[in-house]
Structure 1
Amino acid sequence: MDRVLDGKVVLVTGASSGIGEATALALSAAGAKVAAGARRTDRLAGLVERAAGEVLALELDVTDEGSCRDAVSAAAGHFGGLDVLVNNAGIMLTGPIPGADTSEWARMVHTNLLGAMYTTHAALPHLLERGGTLVQISSTSGRTASAGGGVYAATKFGVNGFSEALRQEVTAQGVRVVVIEPGMVDTELADHITDPVTRAAARDMMKSIRTLRPEDVANAVLYAVSQPGHVAVNEILLRPTDQVV
Structure 2
Amino acid sequence: MEKLKGKTAIVTGASSGIGATIAKQLASEGVNVVLAARSMKKLRDIEQEINTQTHGKALAVQTDMASKKQVDDMVQQAVHTFGYIDIFVNNAGQMLTGTVTSGKVEQWEKMIDVNIKGVLYGIHAVLPSMLERSTGHLINIASVSGFEVTKNSTYSATKFAVRAISMGLEKELAKTGVRVTNISPGMVDTRLSSKSTWGNERKKLATQDIANAVVYTLTQPEYVNVNEITVRPV
TM bucket by the smaller chain? over 0.9
Question: What letter is aligned with 2:162?
Answer: V
Give me the whole-angstrom Cα distance separating, in 2, the residues matched to 1:206 and 1:46. Answer: 33
2:218 is the counterpart of 1:240:
no
* Preserved contact between residue 4 and residue 31 of structure 1 (Cα < 8 Å): no
Residue of structure 2 in register with 1:43 after alignment: 42
Give the deviation of 1:206 after TM superposition.
Answer: 5.5
| Unpaired segments ≥5 residues, structure 2 | none
Give the deviation of 1:6 after TM superposition.
Answer: 0.9
Give me the whole-angstrom Cα distance separating, in 2, the residues matched to 1:6 and 1:43. Answer: 25
Give the deviation of 1:3 after TM superposition.
Answer: 3.6
The structure 2 residue matched to 1:126, chosen from 126, 129, 132, is: 129
Greater helix content? 1
* Preserved contact between residue 98 and residue 105 of structure 2 (Cα < 8 Å): no
**Deviations, residues 21-78 of structure 1 (Å, cap 9, x unaligned):** 0000000001111111110010012212222121011111100000111111111121
2:229 is the counterpart of 1:230:
no
Q: What percentage of aligned pairs have identical amino acids?
A: 41
| Aligned residue pair count | 229
Normalising to structure 1: TM-score of the pair?
A: 0.90
* Preserved contact between residue 84 and residue 127 of structure 1 (Cα < 8 Å): no
* Preserved contact between residue 8 and residue 32 of structure 1 (Cα < 8 Å): yes
* Preserved contact between residue 116 and residue 159 of structure 1 (Cα < 8 Å): yes
2:142 is the counterpart of 1:138:
yes
Give me the whole-angstrom Cα distance separating, in 2, the residues matched to 1:213 and 1:25. Answer: 14
Aligned partner of residue 230 in structure 1, secondary structure: coil
Give me the whole-angstrom Cα distance separating, in 2, the residues matched to 1:75 and 1:228. Answer: 26
The structure 2 residue matched to 1:64, chosen from 54, 58, 67, is: 67
Give me the whole-angstrom Cα distance separating, in 1, the residues matched to 2:118 and 2:32. Answer: 23
2:109 is the counterpart of 1:110:
no
Superposed CA RMSD in Å reads 1.3
Normalising to structure 2: TM-score of the pair?
A: 0.94
Residue of structure 1 in register with 2:187 after alignment: 184
Question: What letter is aligned with 1:151?
Answer: T
Tell me: CA distance 1:74–1:206, structure 2 relative to 1, closer, same or farther (3 Å): farther
- Name which of structure 1's ranges 95-104 and 79-88 shifts more when overlaid on structure 2: 95-104
**Deviations, residues 3-22 of structure 1 (Å, cap 9, x unaligned):** 43112110000000000000
| Unpaired segments ≥5 residues, structure 1 | 192-198
* Preserved contact between residue 63 and residue 114 of structure 1 (Cα < 8 Å): yes
